[in-house]
Chains A and B, each alone.
Chain A
Amino acid sequence: MSRLASLPETWDVLIIGAGPAGMAAATVTASAGLSTLVVDEGPGPGGQIWRAIMTTPVMSRPILGSDYWAGAPAVRTFYESGATYLPSTQVWSLDADGVAGLSADGVARYVTAKRVVIATGAMERPFPVPGWTLPGVLTVGAAQGLLKTSGHYPSGRLVIAGTGPLVWLYAAQLLAAGGRISALLDTTDPGARLAATRSFPAFAASPYLAKGLTLMAKVRARVRVLRKVTALAIDGHDRATSVRFRRGAGSEEQIPADTVLLHQGVVPQVNLAMAAGVPHRWDDRQLCFVPELAPFGQTAVERIAIAGDGAGISGWEAAVERGRLAGIGAARALGISHDSLPSPDAPIRRLRTLARPRAFLDVFYRPAVAFRRPAPETIVCRCEEVTAGEVERAVEIGALGPAQLKSYTRCGMGPCQGRMCGLTVTELMAAKRGVSPAEIGYFRLRAPVKPITLAEIASLPVDGTIVKAVVRS
């Protein structure tokens, strides 16, 4: 029998995601004596930032850096906390009563928890450019995950394109590992640079400035960095072979490439929280939907809290603190006395410090409009192969929002369930209609938020009255 099948039915706390936030939350609740179940779809703990922290073959510490290795003690503390940890397990449904649908190795079942912490983290913002569906085009995050889990890095002609801290971090890690980069196409919007000056002092006062400048200097010393890239397309027949681009208003240039890595920031993963009924709002600075949260990560759905980058992008250090707070909040709600829990004061103070430099990063690395609302011929929905132009045409014949868009075009209806096109769709429709992204909203999401087979659904428990609602004569 699988581990999932033999699991108890009810739990005090269910934590979804074993990254920095999920592990921190679990450490608090399990240490307080609450039965705590942590599920994660990955094979090991650490989330994306500390991916494969216990198994990585990249043992030379300078390659992945100190932020990565900070994960090792966090994982050890988590392991010792007494939480039950279930890797390689998908959460495909979650409702307001704390009932979660889990699936692993073809077995599905429900568990019920009095409190749930969603700590599913971030994903990379969609980067729709012509040719982004070609094999050989991956995200920078994908390449970084590859390096962490298996020590692999691209060995052919490599072009990295995009903007954001991860671009520079990965480039530096790759160089340290022995890799080479043909060119780094920097799409950072010069306009955003200007807009960010106001928030620069707070950033300059943080350790991030020195850290960032050092990384950039390391990369620039060894890589051809082409700045002010305003247009980008990837060419190839069966796989990527070259990248076409423009700098400023300049003429088109082209460089050969075997692998192209794209990145323009990260955004919260919202599918599970939205499907569970957690209200979200449009964040105008981070250009994404974020959940509406109380100080301990609580949502309008009483049993559900959210911690980590899924609560709004703020980095792994903040994720740890928000995870602690969510754990403290859940434990308090379950009647654990304040004295037997860590004090929330330190995490709250630390979060305040960590938030200060964030405004600068958000504005400085805000992706340019051209890469958020692509030209008409660009594929937006990778699954159903719907282009930006088709989205705009749907607005022309009367689609007011994503729900009607689905009816007209199937956009967002493939296996990824809108993850790769949702934000692009919101921004395209908002611009076309001349309204705010908040007014357009996001796809309406429902279980299953991760794939589950028909046989698994068929195997779940039911009662007799429900059978009557289905059988027809």
Chain B
Amino acid sequence: MTEAGTERRDYDVAVVGGGLVGAAVAWGLARLGQRVAMLDEGDDAKRASRGNFALVWVQSKGLGMAEYASWTVRGSQAWPALADALSRETGIDVALQQPGGFHLALSEKELETRAQNLMRLHNQPRMVGYETTILGAADVRKMLPDVGPEVVGGSYCPLDGHVNSQKLLRALHTGLARHGGTYLPGRRVNGIATRDGAFRLSTPRGELAAAKVVLAAGNANMTLAPMVGLSAPMLPERGQIIVTERVAPFLHHPVVTIRQTDEGSVMIGDSKEEATDPAGMTFPINTVMADRAVRMFPRLARLNVVRTWSAIRVMTADGFPIYEQSTTAPGAFVVTCHSGVTLAANHALEIAPMIAKGALDESLGAFSARRFDARPR
């Protein structure tokens, strides 16, 4: 590693972004024998991967794009294979659990809105078939005996689950290294040029050349994509998360806004604000999240909060993934989405082989950013 000037090693693929999306693609490529460099920012990076809620989540995904629902179901089904592979290769158990998950309602109105949204989702043309059930309070209580009296019901989908996303990130980074991949933190990519049949990425620590480049830099894809003839319209959101001290296991199904980690902490999350400053945190948001969590599970009331944080969520302009290869600079790909955890298996086990081969499957056509051209925004 040279500190300045040209980084001498050449790579088959340079993956820009060391978060969950970039690391999944990079690991997937490295295990196919590709020489991979994964470039990442420094320790002060915004890092959406730290702000994720670690759900492997199916219900509610895909309203407005049925292909996204199918893609998500596939991701959920492919997850056990990913967890197995990571465990075998790195010894890290990422604590995948897919016991089915809930979305809880605290009023009849919330439940009704929920039911209508699900109906609209499942009534779409080309919608994949899977089970999501609206349950009344009594049925919810059978599976979640600790819910409070204000819970009037909810929706349940047996495909839903969660993982330990920190362990996932570490496993992907460890796995990348095991397959000879190179992790290059502290390399924020400032420019990408094509010269002599290679992509040349300029970073504060010099230039790096690769035959292919994958843009997996989250919201930064917005500025990187046009450098290689791609586009990635993004609309970042800020999300906040509250974490409690560890307690004995009591919540055996993840709820979309509350889950108990394999380590025992309870995570409460999922607010959204349009904002780009991850350091800015609206503490009253935590109050609303805490209030709803305590009403859903009164047992949580006396738990000590050990951490709260906010992070910028990666969000494309319409909320669906963008997967595309550049037509003007073939070999340049953009891979970006909101659900880096849910779709990790797809990225590592499906997208990476396509990139290695040099072409994305036609079945991913719906995820082209060309969809934004057709629609005035």
- With A446-B307, A472-B256 as contacts: A403 and B44 at CB distance below 8 Å: yes
What's the minimum C-beta distance from A184 to chain B, rounded to whole angstroms?
36
Residue numbers of B with Cβ under 8 A of A are 18, 40, 42-45, 47, 49-50, 103, 110, 113-114, 117, 166, 169-170, 173-174, 177, 183-186, 242, 244-245, 256-257, 263, 268, 270-273, 281-294, 300-309
- With A397-B183, A469-B272, A470-B271 as contacts: A415 and B301 at CB distance below 8 Å: no
What's the Cα separation between A459 and B174 when bound, in Å? 43
Nearest A residue (CB) for B43: A401
What's the Cα separation between A451 and B302 when bound, in Å? 11
- With A397-B173, A403-B47, A446-B308 as contacts: A454 and B183 at CB distance below 8 Å: no
Nearest A residue (CB) for B116: A473
Kindly state whether residue A414 has any CB partner on chain B within 8 Å: yes
The answer on a CB contact under 8 Å between B173 and A398 is yes
What's the minimum C-beta distance from A457 to chain B, rounded to whole angstroms?
4
The answer on a CB contact under 8 Å between A462 and B173 is no
What's the minimum C-beta distance from B188 to chain A, rounded to whole angstroms?
12
Given contacts A400-B42, A469-B282, 4 further A-B contacts (CB under 8 A): A415-B306, A451-B305, A454-B242, A459-B287
Which of A403, A414, A457, A471 has a CB less than 8 Å from the CB of B242?
A: A457
The answer on a CB contact under 8 Å between B272 and A413 is no
* Sample of 9 A–B contacts (CB below 8 Å): A403-B44, A403-B45, A404-B185, A447-B283, A447-B308, A454-B290, A458-B294, A460-B287, A466-B287
For A101, A401, A414, A457, the residue with the greatest tally of chain B CB atoms inside 10 Å of its CB is A457
The answer on a CB contact under 8 Å between A470 and B285 is yes
What's the Cα separation between A403 and B169 when bound, in Å? 13
Q: Which residues of A contact B292 (CB under 8 A)?
A: 470-471
- With A408-B169, A417-B307 as contacts: A473 and B302 at CB distance below 8 Å: no
Q: Which residues of B contact A459 (CB under 8 A)?
A: 287
Q: Which residues of B contact A265 (CB under 8 A)?
A: none
What's the minimum C-beta distance from B333 to chain A, rounded to whole angstroms?
22
The answer on a CB contact under 8 Å between B245 and A415 is yes
The answer on a CB contact under 8 Å between B113 and A473 is yes
The answer on a CB contact under 8 Å between B283 and A410 is no
Kindly state whether residue A207 has any CB partner on chain B within 8 Å: no
What's the minimum C-beta distance from B206 to chain A, rounded to whole angstroms?
16
Kindly state whether residue A448 has any CB partner on chain B within 8 Å: yes
What's the Cα separation between A453 and B288 when bound, in Å? 14
A window 222-257: CB within 8 A of B: none
Residue numbers of A with Cβ under 8 A of B are 93, 95, 101, 397-404, 406-410, 413-415, 417, 440-441, 446-448, 451-455, 457-463, 466-467, 469-473
Q: Which residues of A contact B40 (CB under 8 A)?
A: 398
Q: Which residues of A contact B270 (CB under 8 A)?
A: 470, 472
For A459, A463, A471, the residue with the greatest tally of chain B CB atoms inside 10 Å of its CB is A471
What's the minimum C-beta distance from A467 to chain B, rounded to whole angstroms?
5
The answer on a CB contact under 8 Å between A462 and B308 is no
Q: 7 closest A-B pairs (Cβ-Cβ)?
A: A401-B43, A455-B301, A451-B304, A458-B291, A457-B290, A458-B290, A398-B183
The answer on a CB contact under 8 Å between B173 and A408 is yes
Q: Which residues of A contact B244 (CB under 8 A)?
A: 454
The answer on a CB contact under 8 Å between B43 and A400 is yes
The answer on a CB contact under 8 Å between B245 and A451 is yes
Q: Which residues of B contact A404 (CB under 8 A)?
A: 43, 185
The answer on a CB contact under 8 Å between B304 and A452 is yes
Q: Which residues of A contact B290 (CB under 8 A)?
A: 454-455, 457-458
- With A408-B169, A454-B294, A455-B302 as contacts: A441 and B43 at CB distance below 8 Å: yes
What's the minimum C-beta distance from A461 to chain B, rounded to whole angstroms?
7
- With A398-B18, A401-B42, A454-B301 as contacts: A417 and B306 at CB distance below 8 Å: yes
The answer on a CB contact under 8 Å between B305 and A460 is no
Q: Which residues of B contact A403 (CB under 8 A)?
A: 43-45, 47, 50
What's the Cα separation between A101 and B283 when bound, in Å? 10
Which of A95, A409, A469, A473 has a CB less than 8 Å from the CB of B110?
A: A473
Nearest A residue (CB) for B111: A473
What's the Cα separation between A469 and B183 when bound, in Å? 36
- With A408-B170, A408-B173, A472-B256 as contacts: A454 and B303 at CB distance below 8 Å: yes
Q: Which residues of B contact A469 (CB under 8 A)?
A: 271-273, 282, 285, 288
The answer on a CB contact under 8 Å between A453 and B113 is no
For A397, A413, A470, the residue with the greatest tally of chain B CB atoms inside 10 Å of its CB is A470
What's the Cα separation between A462 and B287 when bound, in Å? 7
The answer on a CB contact under 8 Å between B285 and A466 is yes
What's the Cα separation between A460 and B287 when bound, in Å? 6
Nearest A residue (CB) for B118: A473
- With A454-B305, A461-B284, A466-B288 as contacts: A471 and B110 at CB distance below 8 Å: yes
What's the Cα separation between A417 and B180 when bound, in Å? 35
For A95, A458, A461, the residue with the greatest tally of chain B CB atoms inside 10 Å of its CB is A458
The answer on a CB contact under 8 Å between A453 and B43 is no
Which of A407, A458, A467 has a CB less than 8 Å from the CB of B169?
A: A407
Nearest A residue (CB) for B266: A454
What's the minimum C-beta distance from B222 to chain A, rounded to whole angstroms?
23
Nearest B residue (CB) for A400: B43
- With A415-B245, A454-B290 as contacts: A400 and B169 at CB distance below 8 Å: no
Q: Which residues of B contact A410 (CB under 8 A)?
A: 166, 263
Q: Which residues of B contact A447 (CB under 8 A)?
A: 281, 283, 308
What's the Cα separation between A454 and B265 when bound, in Å? 13
Q: Which residues of A contact B117 (CB under 8 A)?
A: 473
Q: Which residues of B contact A457 (CB under 8 A)?
A: 242, 286-287, 290, 305
Nearest B residue (CB) for A410: B166
The answer on a CB contact under 8 Å between A462 and B284 is yes
What's the Cα separation between A463 and B284 when bound, in Å? 8
The answer on a CB contact under 8 Å between B271 and A458 is no
Q: Which residues of B contact A409 (CB under 8 A)?
A: 170
Which of B45, B177, B183, B308 has a CB less than 8 Å from the CB of A448?
A: B308
The answer on a CB contact under 8 Å between A407 and B287 is no
The answer on a CB contact under 8 Å between A397 and B285 is no
What's the Cα separation between A32 and B268 when bound, in Å? 45
What's the Cα separation between A440 and B284 when bound, in Å? 32
Which of A400, A402, A472 has a CB less than 8 Å from the CB of B257?
A: A472
The answer on a CB contact under 8 Å between A398 and B185 is yes
Which of A407, A446, A466 has a CB less than 8 Å from the CB of B166?
A: A407
Q: Which residues of A contact B304 (CB under 8 A)?
A: 415, 451-453
Q: Which residues of B contact A471 (CB under 8 A)?
A: 110, 288, 292
What's the Cα separation between A101 and B288 when bound, in Å? 16
What's the Cα separation between A416 and B175 when bound, in Å? 31
What's the minimum C-beta distance from B120 to chain A, rounded to whole angstroms?
11
Nearest A residue (CB) for B289: A470
Q: Which residues of B contact A462 (CB under 8 A)?
A: 284, 287-288
